[in-house]
Chains A and B, each alone.
Chain A
Amino acid sequence: MRRAHQLGRRRMAWAESAWLARAAGVCLAAVMGIAGPLSSAQAQSFPREQAFVYGVTNYDGRLYESTLAPPSVSTIYLLANRTNVLAPRNTLIYFWPITNQYQADWEQLNELVDGRLEITQADRVVRTIELSEYVVQYDVSSPEDSLRMYLGAEARTKFGEWEAAQAFYNIALQSFYAAQQRWNDQVNRLRQQSPGGVIPAGALPPEPQPPTQPTVLSSNPARGFVVALPVGQYGIRVRRADGSLQADSSKALVIFDKQRDGISYSVMPQTRWNSPETSADESQVVYALRGSTLYLQPSRAGEYDEFKYARMLNPQDQTAGGSQNRWMSFESAQAARMIVRRVGAPATEQTRRDFYVRQLPGSGLGYEVQAFDPSSDERPSFTGFEIQASDEDIEVELVDAAGTAIPGSRRRIVALNTGLVWAPYVLSLLPFAIGLIVVALRRRATRSIRVTE
């Protein structure tokens, strides 16, 4: 969800629902009221220069992200066999010292460069891609399942349908506000007419219900080169309509894929529920204190080359280095059941439950985690599977609705025997003790040789 909203804040102009927009407008006005004088007093303008950039709309394993590849970037990284978009644009760029990265001033200049994208390998053009119109849409209730990129005429059709749904909703919302106003007036009138201001049962008219808000989000239609390539190293450049090569458009393009899929767990001990530990894959064993309560939150995850993945999300990111793999957690895994196996006991089943964290009363710090009670608790603090770490080693595994184990979801949970932490030190004296015996035996043998002689 967070990524979904980041997506909306970026270059893609997501259209929000009317009431959300109004609330945002109120907030924005409040912020501007405070920030306005400050920003004008401390305003600082950075020199802009016109440049050719690629606006990159890339699939990140879950949703679409947007980023910028200015002339200083020599290589663009994208996921293999997924639909990604490179939008060739002339814009004004400026160096933003806070992050030490180039930013685009899209409002001042945002001009599509007309031409075609040439994809090369070993200096040979292997593919040519024409500009295409595209729209990204997904349903916020299940972004991963509903995410689609529509191209060409279908993009226009889908955007039109989305616009119509929005317009219909806005009209329905206005009708609802009007109906609600009429209902309020009617209720007030009835109250004034009723003895003692108490409206008799049955006289109250039915309250109008708000329309259902559309859950589909859409980007505005835009044009770019739609790139879906297999794993490999490529070169890209833009050939303009007049046949010339666009300056600064030649870059390396690295297409990579995930190493494997899996399930990662966020493991929250009851005593530190807000400091979870991540168990990224099946090779990671969860060590816990004996008798402690753990809450496990599973997520779908993919293992990627860390450097390439970071550069895909932001080609100007300098923090990633090396070529080690890293698990990236995406949306919460939907499995509702977990099989728990303990040594010497039959397997049991756990269901995903909601929990509520209650602050303890008083000035001292403290809280307790309880099962969520809808009658008294406002909303769940978190959702997960509750596991008691006991003396026996535990193995947990998620299963789907059909009872089939979900690959990559198995984990071992082991309760450490922390009371014997001194034992390895004592054991480390074993070689020394044996050495003393060996030396003593040798001396005795040497002495006996001398006596014999």
Chain B
Amino acid sequence: MADRARPAGQVWARRLHAARVIGERQQAGLVSSIGIYVTMSLALAAASLTLHNTVRFVERNAVLSARQPLFLPVTLIVVAFSFILATGAALATARERDRGTLRVLLFAPLDEFAFLLGHFRAQVATYTLMAVFGLVWANLATYLLNLEFSWHVIAAFALSILTVSAVVAFGLLAGVWGGTTRTAIVYLTVITVALIGLQVGGDVISGLSREMSPTHNDPIFVVRDVLLALNAIAQWVSPYAQLNQALDALIDGNAGRIALHVGATIAQIVVFFSAAVLVLKRKEGR
């Protein structure tokens, strides 16, 4: 109430200060715990497996033509890490509600926007730090395996910060929307798995149907058409689909398409975050 009497500039300064305090505190907790490093190591190990697969293909077939063998490992790192961070964001908000501490917090000089922005900032800053590990790993792997060095990999990690931001914003939305910790995690997991499943399933089924003889009656064509139709909508909701398309555009050197997908990801961040603020305001009766 007191904020209404203050000039807008002061209100925003207080909000951002509060968000920074929350963010720094949470980030310090994240960075000083072993869990985040274990997650990064596991993500890099999974990425190493895909690189191993590429090398094995060359060993067995003597030649491979590929656009950028590091894009799949980078995508794996982003998917694994963003999900962990989004879960952390959902837990951080849902737990405050579960414990009843959220209402107390919001009586302090802190509003919903600053509370969520603080958590958002912490998760995104943590990923940015971890992306440095990813970048170092990718460049060392490039050097050791004699892969083609490409600035596209650096750009991919830069783009992935936006993707992770969108997924974290969605994690915050799931956290406040779910009400309880368990429901929040269920929402986040089901929706994330559904979006990734649609994307991967669409690609796999399309690839399979391309290999089949043209037949009107094969049910795989119906499944493919349904998945393609769903994907046409889901791609604008899924940050992973936007990253995938932005990486393709990056290699094609198509600035227009890169701008489109970067813009779409920023829009996702704004929409998910704004929705989280609105839902929290409504649930807390303010």
B-binding residues in A (CB < 8 A): 99-101, 267-272, 275, 277-280, 283-289, 292, 294, 314, 316-322, 393, 412, 414-418, 420-421, 423-425, 427-432, 434-436, 438-439, 442
Contacts and interface: CB of A to CB of B under 8 A. Distances in A.
Interface of B: 31-34, 36-38, 40-41, 44-45, 47-48, 51-52, 54-56, 58-59, 61-69, 130, 133, 136-137, 140-141, 144-148, 202, 206, 209-218, 221, 224-225, 228, 251-252
A320 B224 CA distance: 10
A283 to B, nearest CB: 5
B149 to A, nearest CB: 9
Contacts of A272: 61-63
B65 A279 contact: yes
Given A284-B66, A416-B145, A424 B61 contact: no
Main secondary structure of the interface of B (DSSP, over half): helix
A424 B63 contact: no
A283 B251 contact: yes
Given A278-B65, A428-B47, A412 B148 contact: yes
B32 A287 contact: no
Given A271-B62, A432-B41, A438-B31, A414 B147 contact: yes
Given A101-B214, A431-B133, A435-B38, A289 B140 contact: no
A246 to B, nearest CB: 25
Interface centre among B55, B65, B141 (most CB of A within 10 A): B65
Given A271-B62, A272-B62, 14 more contacts: A267-B65, A287-B64, A288-B58, A318-B216, A321-B206, A322-B228, A416-B55, A416-B145, A420-B145, A424-B51, A431-B37, A435-B34, A436-B34, A439-B34
6 smallest beta-carbon distances between A and B, as pairs: A435-B37, A428-B44, A269-B62, A424-B48, A431-B40, A432-B41
A318 B206 CA distance: 11
Given A287-B69, A428-B44, A421 B61 contact: no
19 contacts: A99-B215, A268-B63, A270-B62, A277-B64, A280-B65, A283-B68, A284-B65, A284-B67, A285-B148, A287-B58, A289-B63, A321-B225, A418-B58, A418-B145, A420-B144, A423-B140, A424-B47, A434-B37, A439-B32
Contacts of B63: 267-269, 272, 277, 286-289, 292, 294
A99 B217 CA distance: 10
Contacts of A269: 61-63
Contacts of B218: 318
B146 A417 contact: yes
B249 to A, nearest CB: 11
Contact of A285 (B66, B145, B213, B224): B66
Contacts of B251: 283
Nearest to B73: A424
Contact of A283 (B67, B136, B225): B67
A219 to B, nearest CB: 26
B58 to A, nearest CB: 5
Contact of B213 (A99, A268, A271, A288): A99
